[in-house]
Structure 1
Amino acid sequence: MSLRSRLNRLFRRKQKSSSVGGFTFIELLVVIFIAGGIISGLLYLVVELLGVDQREASRNETQREMQLAMDYIATELREAVYVYNDCYLPQGSRTNPDGDPNNPDDDYCPGLINHLPDALTSADNIPIIAFWKQQPIPTVLKEQCASSPTPPDNIPCRTASSYALIVYSINRADSDIWKGKARITRYALTQFKSDGSLTPGYAPPEEGVSVRFDRWPIGANSASRQAVLPRDTSAVLVDFLDDGSGADFIDTDETADLASCPDDYSMIPNQDVLTTIGAPAIRSFYACVDQGQSNTNRDVILYIRGNAQGRPGISGEASFLPTLETRVLSRGVLGRAP
């Protein structure tokens, strides 16, 4: 056999084996499309799972922060010596016919919101719950009490504490720092600053025989101290509180209407307070304070609802969270007179 014949046979054999063992172009395209579909489906599932995980993590973190805030407020309420209920009203809700601020009638109520900093009483800053508690005096005053045989009369060295007014509010103002729809702020009016100096605008609720917590700051020398309202020193306790602004998927008016208190409890803030400061009926943070008999410990029910809108992975109806509830029995008593 000639060399030419051998080369032709070898070439034909090679061509035949190549056509039998390879893939056509159409077959390759079909394989690519099938593999692409499978990979796209897997990637979609992975992205969805990551989104669900991120969304649930944001919701859980928001709910955890709401619970921590509620625990903090409840802890302070247990230490309260007086919690405001229906007396936490604008001035004019009750009258004082005698006109003597040092000897008001038994049913006179000066209205607490009239004696708070202006920044705490507006449509964007809604005072919710207020109470008095005992606050330790600054360390510098304790040292002064220990070193001086005759400390000044205005320093309570014997008790080493004074009364502080605590007010928790809803803040709805726009902020570049806080990303939530609303937040809870805490305001504290103490008798002394950290350096031991007196706080301007502070009036001791126990000053004078006729003064009671529900009449603060009416009493001897109180008018002069309240000539200038105290400065706003409130700080944010927690962010991502629901602001009640609503959306297409929730009826916020109906949600506010569902907020209620048991019998013999008053809801704070009530509608009179909201109307006075021009605020909407937001019930994402409110309290029910009992109206029980005198000389009984005060029972308070707290409600807080968060909104995770603004956190990663949150949109639409998923931003709303269940309302948290807790009941607190404080040390304070109704009708307490120091």
Structure 2
Amino acid sequence: MMAKTLQFILRSQIKSSKVIQKSGGFTLIELLVALLIAFFILTPLLGFMVSVLSTDRREQAKANSEQEIQTALNYISRDVQQAVYIYDAAGIAAIQSELRYPGDATKSPVLVFWKRELVDDVIPAATGTKKDGTFVYSLVAYYLIKDSNSTWSNAARIARWQIQDGVSVVSGGVDCTGYTGKYIAGNCPSAGFAPFQDQFDEADIFVGNHCCR
């Protein structure tokens, strides 16, 4: 009697386990159909996401470029506001050989001017330890540079070049190479700088002998 009961229980368990395994699984065809459905649904979604990300990158790059251009224009505007003399096209052409890149067709000066700049804390004061400031002349040139430099846009860029006068003194001071006067240490003129003339005639403007050596 006991043996028959055990056999009945075992057969019942085996049948129930087969039923569970049969109802809980997936056939290979069902899996393939599910994969195909997922593929057809996810592919357009992935394409849409890639398009959105690509558009976002382009818009971000455009916004950054516009911000950098505006920053550069603001800097040039502040620079020109300090100008005391701005060369016209004929004047730039006349002194181009005396500027930074003579004879280089890929680098064209588009804006050249003289400005006065304040040099702080350079001249010893009569009393106290604080030093006074003074103004010096600078020649500034903005160049349009066309080259294939991979660091930039491979098309064109704007570069700034400047040479500045030194802070001269009547007594004491140091010698500066290429100059006969005395200057405060650490404030020699830039190499090739020639003093700006407050008053010069038309010949000076076109010869350019007042700008640089």
- Judge same fold: TM > 0.5, yes or no: yes
Q: Which has the higher contact order (CA 8 A, sep 6+)?
A: 1
1:81 to 2:63 alignment: no
Question: One-letter code of the match for 2:118?
Answer: P
Residue aligning to 2:190: 199
> For residues 206 and 89 of structure 1, do their structure 2 counterparts lie closer, same or farther at Cα, with a shift above 3 Å needed?
closer
Number of matched residues?
Answer: 187
Residue aligning to 2:107: 125
1:165 to 2:139 alignment: yes
1:180 to 2:162 alignment: no
Q: CA deviation at 1:73?
A: 0.5
Identity of aligned residues (%): 25
Do 2:92 and 2:109's aligned partners in 1 also have CA atoms closer than 8 Å? no
CA distance in 2 between partners of 1:137 and 1:16 (Å): 94
- The 5 A counterparts of 1:202-221 are 202-206=193-197, 210=201, 214-215=205-206, 217-218=208-209
Residue aligning to 1:48: 51
> For residues 11 and 218 of structure 1, do their structure 2 counterparts lie closer, same or farther at Cα, with a shift above 3 Å needed?
closer
Do 2:115 and 2:138's aligned partners in 1 also have CA atoms closer than 8 Å? yes
CA deviations on 1:95-150 (whole Å, 9 max, x unpaired) are xxxxxxxxxxxxxxxx1212213x2652221211111211224643x33xx35xxx
Instruction: Work out which of the residue numbers 21, 41, 46 in structure 2 matches 1:38.
Output: 41
Higher helix share: 2
What is the CA RMSD across the aligned residues, in angstroms?
A: 3.6
TM-score (norm. length: structure 1)? 0.46
> For residues 31 and 213 of structure 1, do their structure 2 counterparts lie closer, same or farther at Cα, with a shift above 3 Å needed?
farther
- The 5 A counterparts of 1:47-66 are 47-66=50-69
CA distance in 2 between partners of 1:53 and 1:124 (Å): 35
> For residues 37 and 88 of structure 1, do their structure 2 counterparts lie closer, same or farther at Cα, with a shift above 3 Å needed?
farther
- The 5 A counterparts of 1:126-141 are 126-137=108-119, 139-140=121-122
Question: One-letter code of the match for 1:48?
Answer: S
1:189 to 2:163 alignment: yes
Q: CA deviation at 1:67?
A: 0.8
Question: One-letter code of the match for 1:123?
Answer: A
Question: One-letter code of the match for 2:111?
Answer: I
CA deviations on 1:34-72 (whole Å, 9 max, x unpaired) are 123333433333333222222221221111111100111
> For residues 201 and 184 of structure 1, do their structure 2 counterparts lie closer, same or farther at Cα, with a shift above 3 Å needed?
same
Do 2:112 and 2:142's aligned partners in 1 also have CA atoms closer than 8 Å? yes
CA distance in 2 between partners of 1:77 and 1:190 (Å): 16
Identify unmatched segments of 5+ residues in structure 1. 91-110, 148-156, 227-338
Residue aligning to 2:95: 112
Question: One-letter code of the match for 1:164?
Answer: S
Larger radius of gyration: 2
SS at match of 2:91: coil
